[in-house]
Chains A and B, each alone.
Chain A
Amino acid sequence: MKIKVVVTLKNGVLDPQGKAIQQTLNGMGYSNIEGVRQGKYFDLEIAEKDEAKAKAAAEEMCKKLLANLVIEDFKIL
């Protein structure tokens, strides 16, 4: 089954790319954009029919590789 994972920077961690994107959007006329944080999205194709088991496996993968918990949070969708 397919498991979707989103990895984002924790609050307080500097995100210069997000900042640059925000400034560009502001420059394009989107003056109401007050903040942008860039993240990562993963589609995991897991050979597992049980959703709970697949999500548990994805969580372990996030902790071990997909996210660096010093600076990132992850969410399994």
Chain B
Amino acid sequence: MKSSVIIFPGSNCDRDMDVALKKFGFKNTMVWHNDDKLPKSDLIVLPGGFSYGDYLRCGSIAGKSKIINSVIDFAKTGGLVLGICNGFQILTETGLLPGVLLQNKNIEFICKNVFVKINDKNNKYFNKINKEILELHIAHNEGNYFCSDDELRELENNNQIAAYYCDEKGNCDDRSNPNGALKNIAGILNKEKNVLGMMPHPERMIDKYLSGEDGSIFFKNLLNNLKI
């Protein structure tokens, strides 16, 4: 399976993502933001970081970059696009995903492990995943998911909410909500379920000695789903 990771000026999780994808068997290519064509890929990843210094709004400048038109075309023809953290912010700015990531409710940069509960498995990312609650890492200043009431209703009715923040037992409440996100939303899918944006970083949880292996579960499962 072939993947591509887009590098924007200010991306800083691009190489972590490259390591993670290769570890689990993807043939990965790094793609510069100023290119206009994507290599042939089964998966495009928009990595975490601070693209263009987070100027104007997080993800807004990257959302108008040269490569992004190819990413949008790829997504619109059903290609898998995964946005992690700043990648999620970029996906909302392009309009591929609804809503927006606001500043964290407590105005603090949050860097810690959290638990997320997988909500919808009817997609290539989480189909057949053998764990319901994953421990993943978050590191962000703007992760407070927000959308209009109508958009929320649509997300819920179409099962587009990919994952909720929860505690280790799976309870989703204010205490397990790190950043004030609407309904504890940690990640969402588009209507067609080929575009996933989430704030937690699976690529930071791929080593049992350094972190934990719940990210490994995610990547192995994704690769298996792509092979089918």
Which residues does A use to contact B, with CB under 8 Å? 13-14, 16-17, 20, 64-66, 68, 70-71
Pair A14/B146 contact, Cβ less than 8 Å: yes
Residues of A within 8 A of B203 (CB): none
Which residues does B use to contact A, with CB under 8 Å? 56-57, 60, 64, 92-93, 98-100, 102-107, 144, 146-148, 180
Q: Given known contacts A65-B56, A65-B64, is B148 in contact with A70 (CB within 8 Å)?
A: yes
- Which of A65, A66, A70 makes the CB contact (< 8 A) with B100? A70
Residues of B within 8 A of A13 (CB): 102, 146
Residue in A closest to B182 when the chains form the complex, CB atoms: A14
User: What separation, in Å, do the CA atoms of A20 and B148 have in the docked complex?
Assistant: 24
New A-B pairs, 7, CB < 8 Å, besides A17-B103, A20-B107, A70-B147:
A13-B102, A14-B144, A16-B104, A65-B60, A68-B60, A70-B100, A70-B148
Pair A68/B102 contact, Cβ less than 8 Å: no
Residues of A within 8 A of B106 (CB): 16
Pair B105/A68 contact, Cβ less than 8 Å: no
Pair B60/A71 contact, Cβ less than 8 Å: no
Q: Given known contacts A14-B144, A14-B146, A14-B180, is B56 in contact with A66 (CB within 8 Å)?
A: yes
